[in-house]
Homo-oligomer: A and B are copies of this chain.
Amino acid sequence: MPIDIVLDAMGSDKAPDPEIKGAILAARTLDVRVHLVGPEEILRPKLREALKNAAGPSFPGVPAKRAKLPIFISQASEWISMEDKAALAVRSKRDSSMRVGLKMVREGKAAGFVTAGNTGAAMATAKMVLGSLGGIDRPALASILPTSSGGPCVLLDVGANVDSDPTNLLQFAVMGSEYAKNVLHVHNPRVGLLSIGEEDSKGNTLTKETLPLLRELGERGVINFLGNVEGRDLYNGAADVVVCDGFVGNVALKTSEGIAKLVNESLKASLKSTVTSTVGALLSQKAFKAFRKRLDYSEYGGAPLLGVRGVAIVGHGSSNDRAIMNGIRVAAEFAQADVNAAIEAALADPTS
């Protein structure tokens, strides 16, 4: 039984091409029906063109064209760009592809929504259209980070909320834990509170007030709580879920992007300058390809917005067709695992 996923066709930096190609990849390889949302006059000819090309050499390894792929177009006359101010765009663009797509989720026409567009606008629209889950004061955006142990680390919140209070962080912990368990298939996920030292005495007012709440949640068996963790633990596999205020999480994430880029560039420059040009360039190209694949965030299919009444995945603006397909896959898994029911149950029943 295929699952219906709505895809914002106008989200990514190069929209709608990666979206259309990603939808084709998904429709071919997953048990999904993809609903592309955007201006039909733009999408229809591009989809037709892409389907024609898709039979050719641009998708090696993909089975030959089926009689008819389950890809549909839903009309939306507007879209929100990366440059749009989120708050303003959400109010003024009433027929945006995000809003139309999320409405389809609310109305039960689809099980999940995927966009590679403006993150702030996606979060604001999803909160407005879908509303929050029972027991959740503020939805949170979760980033799935790669670690040296090979498993993913769920970091939340990474940007939806600043000036969080201890209750927000407690809810983030439950949401992250249920997501790791049900979608990432981590057994008994270890949850850490992001601080500046492992001892209970280390941290700021927010973490010190949050620590006893999470410890109590751990004692009740709702989460598997580790205590405080540090920035370096995001990438060493010491925790499966790490909880923090959205300002702190966003700084951590963008700092990571910054230093990864620096390290990558520096190492490339060093390789180039130290190895014999032809051999070296060839060898390092191969190594870098393997390396990028290993650290490729897009394999995780983007950031889930947790705590809204529905399924919403926000991908990177630079998503390619493969990342879009993974976003669709993750949205389908998220919906089928029924994470939201698990979150509500964990927060509702103090004896669970």
Contact = CB atoms under 8 A, between A and B. Distances in A.
Interface of A: 146-148, 159, 162-163, 194-196, 203-205, 207, 230-236, 244-248, 250-267, 269-271, 273-275, 279-280, 283-284, 286-288, 290-291, 294-295
B247 A196 contact: yes
Given A148-B261, A254-B231, A262-B148, A270 B247 contact: no
A294 to B, nearest CB: 5
Contacts of A244: 251
Contact of A196 (B251, B266, B274, B291): B251
A267 B265 CA distance: 12
B252 A252 contact: yes
27 contacts: A148-B261, A159-B196, A163-B205, A194-B251, A196-B246, A204-B247, A230-B251, A231-B256, A232-B258, A233-B258, A235-B259, A235-B261, A248-B251, A251-B251, A251-B252, A255-B256, A256-B256, A259-B259, A263-B295, A266-B295, A267-B288, A270-B290, A271-B287, A273-B290, A274-B286, A275-B283, A279-B283
A295 to B, nearest CB: 6
A230 B258 CA distance: 9
Contact of A255 (B232, B284, B290): B232
A195 B250 CA distance: 9
Main secondary structure, interface of A, reads helix
B266 A294 contact: yes
Nearest to A256: B259
Contacts of A245: 204
Nearest to A293: B270
Contacts of A231: 250-258
A172 to B, nearest CB: 16
Contacts of A263: 259-260, 263-264, 295
Nearest to A264: B263
Contacts of A279: 279, 283
B274 A261 contact: no
Contacts of A275: 283, 286-287
A280 B286 CA distance: 12
A245 B259 CA distance: 20
A132 to B, nearest CB: 21
Nearest to A250: B196
Contacts of A146: 262
Contacts of A271: 283-284, 287, 291
Given A162-B204, A255-B255, A256-B256, 8 more contacts: A203-B247, A231-B255, A231-B257, A231-B258, A232-B258, A235-B258, A248-B248, A274-B290
